[in-house]
């Protein structure tokens, strides 16, 4: 399908031509072409900057710190982000990891009392095998019955793919389109003005931002788009997910670059922890211990990160939000396990509330009201912007201090299982799955495969076993995992898919150089593309 000169769009998925034609109109394709052509070089520049910074860290052995050339931004006490619209003032509980392809859950979420919903139209979480397909099949979701008016449903927070992702189904000037521009452009063209008129957006989550220069690029994109669509400056609002150790040193600068369009910053745990392996994985001083046993938000490096994020946001009038509670409540509300899970989530999220966060996410919709009640019991008003956290003093050492602890056999097995099952889900066209009472997604897959790679790299000795983590042991444990998981396969194709996933996990964790993002590897690696298309006889 040929759009404007210089744009090529691949044919529609089978059975979805009507939706495809509705979505990709001539005017829409023209807008996408202009958007992508305008910013494509800047996208390449920020990606080259990432490579340059990583090379500098590797060659010099230096550690990151707060930037000297932007100290004036941090020391200027006067600047603030623009106030957010009324619908964003109260962010207590958002629903995470949700796409309209999961129609039943999507409708329930729209009918829920949550403040917001992350990842709508389509699954923008970097974890769908065909975002293009999802875009097309999700487009008619606005026509769902029994859904309240958009001004009455939880605020929709759209999450474009990160800069490391491309859209292989669209070529612009001979290059694959940047995934986030494709996602953002489609949403803005079709829904931007309607969301603005209903005072319900457009609002975004921006993932995998590594520097203030990337925030500046997003701000330029927002300004250009608002001018193009005749929307007032500051209409678009975005929450930046601080998922990278380098970004943690530039939080104030990131807010400054997006000060007209900021909906605050968000802190999680697993993508952020995985970024230490990404940036310093070859350095033994940054060996990350068993995450199940030794890594949590109470540890110094994560607690400092959350405290600094809250202090930075509130100092500048921006909202600070926490990560997603991934635990799932058991079906039996009277069971001991139900109470145990609820108590665990409550304890962990209360720590975040006491740190000053203005909200966080849950996956299980049944956690919405208990967590909202937690906010009612421990806070006053719509948010905690008045909590300026003057007590917080965070140094580079605080942010870079690895928790003590070792590697356990059970932790290694768990990371292997999570990695295999994530790739298996990806091959099935799903971005997340359930395992041992919680939802697993790209974030937990990222930390799991990162830790296995790092433990092999340093031939770490297990603390509860005499063996070293090496190729032989990991290969053996992957085979064990296959044996245990294969019993759940109901067809030859499912078994083939699981074995393919296991082979790919072994391939990823044995790479000499650390694959930067599991999602990029799965989306663009030839081995994956070939295996995904291989017919099973």
Cα–Cα distances in Å, from 215 out to 187, 262, 263, 269, 504?
A: 19, 10, 13, 21, 33
Q: Supply the pLDDT for residue 151.
A: 86
- The topology under which CATH files domain 409-533 is Malate Synthase G; Chain: A; Domain 4 (1.20.1220)
Closest CA relative to residue 362, chosen from 336, 334, 323, 319: 323
Find out whether the peptide bond into 145 is cis, omega within 30 degrees of 0: no
Q: How confident is the model at residue 132 (pLDDT cuts 50, 70, 90)?
A: low
Over range 129-137, report the average pLDDT.
49
| pLDDT of res. 247 | 99
Q: How confident is the model at residue 15 (pLDDT cuts 50, 70, 90)?
A: confident
Across the range 260-288, mean pLDDT stands at 97
Which residues make beta-bridge pairs with 206? 240
pLDDT tens figures, 233-262: 999 999 999 999 999 999 999 999 999 999
Beta strands 116-118 and 433-435 are unpaired
Distances (CA, A) of 105 to 77, 312, 338, 365, 449: 44, 35, 21, 9, 29
CA distance 88 to 266: 14
Q: What is the DSSP letter of 386?
A: T
Q: What is the mean pLDDT of residues 463-475?
A: 96
Strands (E), 165-313: 166-172, 175-178, 203-206, 237-242, 262-267
Q: What is the pLDDT of residue 530?
A: 55
Q: Is 389 left (phi over 0), alpha (psi -120 to 50) or beta?
A: left
Residues in the chain: 537
Question: Mind listing the pLDDT tens digit for each residue in 398-456?
Answer: 999 999 999 999 999 999 999 999 999 988 888 889 999 999 999 999 999 999 999 99
Helix axis angle for 442-457 and 270-280, nearest 10°, is 30
pLDDT bracket for residue 121 (50, 70, 90): very low
pLDDT of residue 130: 46
Relative to beta strand 116-118, strand 262-267 is: unpaired
The mean predicted confidence, pLDDT, of the chain is 91
- Which residue intervals of the chain bear CATH 1.20.1220.12? 409-533
β-pairing, 93-95 with 116-118? parallel
Class of domain 7-77+89-397: alpha beta
Average pLDDT over residues 291-305: 97
By annotation, the residues acting in catalysis are 159, 441
Measure Cα distances from 411 to 281, 418, 431, 442, 466 in Å. 18, 11, 23, 18, 15
Contact 35, 224 (CB under 8 A): yes
Q: How far apart are CA 387 and CA 385, in angstroms?
A: 5
Q: How far apart are CA 72 and CA 87, in angstroms?
A: 32
Q: For 29-75, how does the pLDDT look when each residue is reduced to its tens digit (9 = 90+)? A: 999 999 999 999 999 999 999 999 999 999 999 999 999 999 999 99
The pLDDT, as a whole number, for residue 496 is 94
| Residue 120: C-alpha distances to residues 8, 183, 287 (Å) | 25, 11, 36
Angle of helix 492-509 versus helix 526-533 axis, rounded to 10: 180
Instruction: Give span(s): CATH 3.20.20.360, the chain.
Output: 7-77+89-397
pLDDT > 70: percent of the chain: 92
Instruction: Give the bridge partners for 178, in sequence order.
Output: 166
Q: What's residue 18's pLDDT?
A: 85
What confidence score (pLDDT) does residue 431 get?
A: 82
Give the integer Cα–Cα distance in Å for 411 and 477: 12
Q: What is the rounded end-to-end Cα distance, in angstroms, of the chain?
A: 32
What does DSSP say about strands 262-267 and 237-242: parallel, antiparallel, or unpaired? Answer: parallel
CB 67 within 8 A of CB 103: no
Res 124 pLDDT > 50: no
- Phi, psi (degrees; rounded to nearest 5) at 4: -60, 160
Report the Cα 251 to chain-centroid distance in Å: 17
Confidence band, pLDDT 50/70/90 cuts, at residue 141: very low
472 CB-side CA count, 13 A: 4
């Amino acid at each position: 399908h040929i759009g404007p000169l210089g744009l090529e769009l691949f044919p529609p998925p089978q059975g979805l031509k009507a939706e495809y034609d509705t979505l990709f109109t001539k005017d829409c394709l023209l807008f996408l072409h202009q958007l992508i052509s305008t910013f494509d070089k800047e996208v390449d520049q920020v990606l080259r900057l990432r490579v340059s910074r990583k090379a500098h860290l590797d060659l010099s052995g230096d550690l990151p710190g707060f930037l000297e050339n932007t100290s004036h931004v941090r020391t200027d006490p006067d600047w603030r982000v623009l106030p957010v619209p009324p619908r964003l003032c109260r962010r207590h509980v958002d629903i995470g990891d949700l796409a309209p392809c999961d129609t039943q859950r999507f409708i329930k979420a729209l009918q829920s009392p949550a403040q917001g919903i992350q990842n709508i139209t389509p699954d923008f979480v970097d974890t769908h095998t065909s975002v293009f397909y999802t875009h097309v099949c999700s487009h008619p979701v606005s026509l769902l019955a029994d859904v309240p008016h958009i001004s009455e449903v939880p605020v929709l927070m759209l999450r474009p793919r990160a800069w490391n992702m491309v859209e292989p189904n669209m070529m612009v000037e001979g290059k694959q389109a940047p995934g986030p521009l494709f996602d953002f452009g489609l949403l803005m063209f079709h829904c931007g003005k309607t969301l603005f008129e209903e005072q319900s957006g457009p609002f975004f989550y921006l993932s995998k931002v590594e520097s203030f220069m990337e925030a500046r690029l997003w701000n330029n994109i927002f300004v250009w788009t608002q001018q193009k669509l005749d929307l007032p400056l500051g209409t678009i609002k975005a929450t930046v997910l601080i998922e990278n150790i380098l970004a943690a040193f530039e939080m104030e600068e990131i807010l400054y670059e997006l000060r007209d369009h900021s909906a605050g910053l968000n802190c999680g745990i697993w993508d952020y922890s995985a970024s230490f392996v990404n940036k310093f994985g070859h350095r033994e001083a940054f060996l990350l211990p068993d995450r199940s046993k030794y890594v949590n938000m109470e540890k110094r490096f994560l607690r400092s990160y959350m405290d600094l994020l809250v202090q930075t946001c509130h100092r500048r009038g921006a909202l600070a939000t926490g990560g997603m509670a991934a635990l799932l409540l058991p079906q039996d509300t009277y069971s001991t396990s139900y109470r145990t899970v609820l108590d665990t989530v409550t304890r962990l999220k209360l720590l975040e509330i006491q740190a000053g966060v203005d909200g966080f996410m849950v996956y299980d919709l049944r956690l919405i009201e208990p967590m909202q009640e937690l906010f009612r019991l421990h806070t006053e008003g719509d948010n905690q912007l008045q909590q300026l956290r003057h007590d917080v003093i965070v140094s580079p050492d605080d942010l870079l201090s690895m928790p003590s602890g070792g590697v356990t056999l059970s932790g290694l097995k768990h990371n292997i299982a999570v990695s295999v099952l994530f790739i298996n889900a990806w091959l099935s066209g799903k971005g997340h799955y359930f395992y041992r009472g919680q939802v697993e997604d790209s974030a937990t897959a990222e930390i799991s495969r990162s830790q296995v790679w790092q433990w092999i790299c340093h031939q770490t000795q297990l603390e509860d076993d005499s063996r070293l983590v090496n190729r032989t042991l990991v290969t053996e444990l992957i085979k064990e995992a296959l044996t245990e998981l294969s019993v759940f396969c109901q067809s030859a194709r499912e078994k083939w898919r699981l074995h393919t996933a296991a082979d790919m996990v072994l391939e990823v964790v044995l790479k000499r150089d650390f694959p930067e993002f599991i999602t990029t590897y799965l989306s663009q690696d030839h081995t994956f593309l070939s295996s995904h298309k291989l017919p099973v006889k």
